[in-house]
Amino acid sequence: MLLDGEDTHYSASQYLLMPPDVQRTAVQPAVDPCHHPLEDWLCATCLQALCFVAAFAIGRRAERHAPWWFLDPQTRTGKTAFRCTWAILLPLLCTWTILGISWLLETLDNTPECFPHGSYLSPPVYACSQILCGLCAIAYAIFVANVWAAQMNRRANAAAIAAIEDDDLVDRWGKQHASVSPDLCGGLLACDFCELPRHRVFHEGGECSICLNGLDRGDIARSLPGCGHVFHRACIDLWLVREPCCPLCKVAVRPRQRRPSMDY
């Protein structure tokens, strides 16, 4: 309760928390003209930058210091650390930068005297900090978009390899590993391979134009529909996941019984 003669210096928040009857008798405090805490904005921005660094350090440590760990994180900690950077920290940085710009412009327009003379925290310093924050946010958003594209390529690579890999392919070409390049994404789909004809070679003769080895008795081969060129199954499948055409004559290879629904 305020009494006559009592010092009535209190903040706006204290005033708002007073009961209504006390508010009526109290003097409404003046709004601080320098109420935008730009120094705090700068400190919080530095804190956010440290959070980015910490998230990457934690993720990299969880992924045993793999150089491109964020492309295919194997641990829950790694996945969470990278997800935090784009789902929490990036939106926060964007919002915080916009808020800082609005504070700076408002202060410059209405109360430019709030910037103390001679202080190193001058309007140009704040403006440069905010431009830097905006550029960093844009650059990180582009980086995340590229990581997502690479992750999609990797998943498509893994599906293509799983569709064609068997002991024969590993014997001829070694173990295949999914990569982030789109190399293995331009050809037939995994479901198309079971529609292609294949046969076992009974009479030796001819050569596989991909591996340059002979088509020996007992080898599994494919005779491509459309042109009839024959290759080892492993060799031509590895080609067809990249290019949906014959490597010799470039005739398009189409599965025999492609269902209309598979085109969608």
Please pick, from the candidates 22, 248, 252, 262, the single residue that binds Zn ion as defined by CB under 5 A: 248
Among 44, 211, 244, 254, binds Zn ion (CB under 5 A): 211
Strands (E), the chain: 199-200, 220-223, 230-232
Q: Does 88 bind Zn ion (CB under 5 A)?
A: no
Contacts of 67 (CB under 8 A, 6+ apart): none
In terms of CB distance, is 69 or 231 closer to Zn ion?
231
Collapsed DSSP state (helix, strand, coil) of residue 56: helix
Cβ burial of 9 (10 Å; 0-12, 13-18, 19+) is exposed
Query: Which of 242, 238, 239, 222 has its CA nearest to residue 230?
Result: 222
- Contact region with Zn ion (CB under 5 A), list: 88-96, 127-135, 149-157, 242-250: 242-250
| Sheet hosting strand 230-232, strand order edge to edge | 199-200, 220-223, 230-232
Using CB under 5 A as the binding rule, whether residue 232 contacts Zn ion is answered as yes
Q: Among the candidate windows 27-35, 68-76, 144-152, 225-233, which touches Zn ion by CB under 5 A?
A: 225-233
- Cβ proximity of 237 and 189 under 8 Å: no
Smallest separation, CB 228 to Zn ion (Å): 7
Binding-site size for Zn ion (CB under 5 A) equals 10
Residues of span 182-201 touching Zn ion by CB under 5 A: none
Residues at the contact surface with Zn ion, assessed by CB under 5 A: 208, 210-211, 227, 229, 232, 235, 246, 248-249
